[in-house]
Amino acid sequence: MEHAHWMKRCLQLASNGAGLVAPNPMVGAVLVQGDRILSEGWHRVYGGPHAEVNCLQAWGDQPIPADAIMYVSLEPCSHTGLTPPCAELLIARGVRTVVMGCTDPDPRVAGRGIARLRDAGITVITDVLQDECRWVNRRFITSIEQQRPYIILKWARSSDGFLDRHPRGERGVQRISCYATDVLAHRWRSEEQAILVGSRTVLNDNPRLDVRHVAGHSPLRVVLDRQGITPAASHVYDGSTPTLLITGNTRELPDVGQALIPAGAEPLDFLLAELYRRKVRSLLVEGGGELLGRFISRNLWDEAREIAGEPLFLQGTPAPHLLRQPHRTLASGGDRIHLYTRSSVPETAWPW
């Protein structure tokens, strides 16, 4: 039986929830009879029905055929959270066979969903396209297993390896990438829960750190400003999108959340712990050379996305350099995008 074929469809459906369901995982479900899809669904929005619920609602109230198989990319939940447990729904609806992609590492589930289904006499087949299923939910899984957000480093460099051109003439972003790449970068932003820069980037570039070129939610803007030197009139403090200031000195900034770094605490450790406490599963780091360098030197990253543009700067801030080869390189207009990870990735990774 082509379990992998239908699991790929589950993963396609799950990806529809990118940027919409966090801090929950992205999940897709397909109800199949023979070679025919009876119904399908995915987790559409945080707090809303899970994939299995949407799939069965799409099928309706009619009985589930005895030979039908429910495919789901993540272990059905067995606890009551914002919604009832999906394992109990599958049992109540009379599903006889469930094929799942990977187990859920959440301690409230973590094999309990499988056990509940099997105890009810349901045939459960596990670990179909496990690597691909874990990749789709790498943000959620990393957060649960490592108790920190999934960290993506991103920077653009000139053709001769600089993040910016010196001397700087004025405050503002210096363009490196082409428009097509900028659109893609905004899609990246829309897929993550938070985006981080340091105080120097706010001072030099005055970035907005929101999503404008594509439809999607803007991430939580996070500013690491230990000394409180960023201007209050900066775009990141304009109230248009939620902002969290990580600082050593409380500021008078209306509509800006703040977290005070305790005396003697390591700023990055405090920042990551604070985001984890807030259930932020993923963090896109768009800071300058100093901030990126701190993450790299401490091996605090899971992915890196380097945009190599066409401009020639001659002098400026040197771009970070990773002592490894990229897993993949993509063309975007005149730019090249080098994609790095610290772990193995399936062939289906980065489907932009």
As a whole-number percent, the residues of the chain with pLDDT over 70 amount to: 99
pTM value is 0.94
Q: Can you give the C-alpha Rg of the chain in angstroms?
A: 22
Instruction: Check pLDDT > 80 for residue 352.
Output: no
Q: Work out the pLDDT band at 228, boundaries 50, 70, 90.
A: very high
Instruction: Check pLDDT > 80 for residue 83.
Output: no
User: What is the predicted pLDDT for the residue at 36?
Assistant: 95
User: What is the predicted pLDDT for the residue at 202?
Assistant: 96
Give the tens place of pLDDT for each residue, 243-277.
Answer: 999 999 889 998 899 999 999 999 999 999 999 99
As a whole-number percent, the residues of the chain with pLDDT over 90 amount to: 88
Give the tens place of pLDDT for each residue, 311-346.
Answer: 999 999 999 999 899 999 999 999 999 999 998 888
User: Considering the chain, what is the average pLDDT of its residues?
Assistant: 94
Q: How many CB atoms lie within 10 A of CB 34?
A: 10
- CB half-sphere exposure, 308, CA atoms < 13 A: 13
DSSP for 256-323 reads: -EEEEPPTT--HHHHHHHHHHHTT--EEEE---HHHHHHHHHTT--SEEEEEE-S---SSSSBPP--S
Instruction: Check pLDDT > 70 for residue 283.
Output: yes
List of E strands, the chain: 28-33, 36-42, 69-74, 97-102, 123-125, 150-157, 194-198, 220-225, 243-247, 257-260, 282-285, 303-308, 328-332, 335-341
Give the tens place of pLDDT for each residue, 41-58.
Answer: 999 999 899 999 999 999
The region, left, alpha or beta by phi > 0 then psi within -120 to 50, assigned to residue 60 is: left
Indicate the length of the chain as a whole number: 352
Instruction: Check pLDDT > 70 for residue 82.
Output: no
Q: How far is CA 7 from CA 34, 37, 216, in A?
A: 14, 12, 26
Instruction: Check pLDDT > 60 for residue 1.
Output: no
Q: Work out the pLDDT band at 81, boundaries 50, 70, 90.
A: low
Whole-number Å distance between alpha carbons of 51 and 29: 5
CB 199 within 8 A of CB 227: yes
User: What is the predicted pLDDT for the residue at 165?
Assistant: 92
Residues with catalytic annotation? 52
Output the CA angle 73-79-80, nearest 5 degrees. 115
